[in-house]
Chains A and B, each alone.
Chain A
Amino acid sequence: TQLLEQSPQFLSIQEGENLTVYCNSSSVFSSLQWYRQEPGEGPVLLVTVVTGGEVKKLKRLTFQFGDARKDSSLHITAAQPGDTGLYLCAGAGAGNNRKLIWGLGTSLAVNP
């Protein structure tokens, strides 16, 4: 069974701090997606990484896909209260990308 483990599970920081959250697996994924979910809403796609070693930047967010395509990280620089939310990673297996494997998420609170 493919599993995606996210860490940390919870994170509470002050505005302006940097942070990194991780998404790890023993399985290889053809691609990995990151979503952010705010309370009372559905998850919203942030980025998809496809190539091993790939780095993508979205303003203050930097996403990296591991060389072996088994893990990924999300780094936020100078966090703001608007970054508060649940960050979810989801991996797509090779050959059947209709069913994603989801991590349990990292709940981030950025305090003003």
Chain B
Amino acid sequence: DAGITQSPRHKVTETGTPVTLRCHQTENHRYMYWYRQDPGHGLRLIHYSYGVKDTDKGEVSDGYSVSRSKTEDFLLTLESATSSQTSVYFCAIRMTSGTVGELFFGEGSRLTVL
């Protein structure tokens, strides 16, 4: 099984502060994704990466940036956190052994912005 580690798992921060969430994978999968999950909105794609230094925006990318300097790490940064970014954030990798783009998810990072 693929291994994904998200850190931190829980974070409370104040409005206006920068926050970085880290996703680390152990199996050199090419595609990595950041989602947020909110009641009533489901899973929404923030950004994704298809290789080192290759990233693209998802449907809710405003206020977020990402970086992928190594295959194994995909960072999500909130430059200036707002209360609307309180959410549970999931990192996922695309399983190359899957039929069509199946995803393997991390355990999530719960972020609270006060």
Residue from the list A40, A41, A45, A104 in contact with B103, Cβ < 8 A: A45
- For B, the interface residue count at a CB cutoff of 8 angstroms equals 25
Within 8 A of B (CB), among A60-112: 88, 90, 92, 97-100, 102-105
Residue from the list A31, A90, A99 in contact with B48, Cβ < 8 A: A99
Q: Which residues of chain B come closer than 8 Å to A90, judged between CB atoms?
A: 43, 103
| Contact yes or no, A98 B94, CB < 8 A | yes
A103, closest chain B residue (CB): B42
| Contact yes or no, B40 A104, CB < 8 A | yes
Cβ contacts A17-37/B at 8 Å (1 or 0 each): 000000000000011010000
Question: Contact size class for A?
Answer: 20 to 34
Give the complex CA separation of A44 and B92 in angstroms.
Answer: 11
Residue from the list A41, A88, A100, A104 in contact with B101, Cβ < 8 A: A100
Give the complex CA separation of A88 and B104 in angstroms.
Answer: 14
| Contact yes or no, B58 A41, CB < 8 A | no
Q: List 14 A-B contacts (CB under 8 A).
A: A33-B100, A40-B108, A42-B90, A42-B106, A45-B103, A45-B104, A48-B102, A50-B100, A92-B101, A98-B31, A98-B101, A99-B48, A100-B103, A104-B41
Residue from the list A48, A100, A102, A105 in contact with B99, Cβ < 8 A: A48
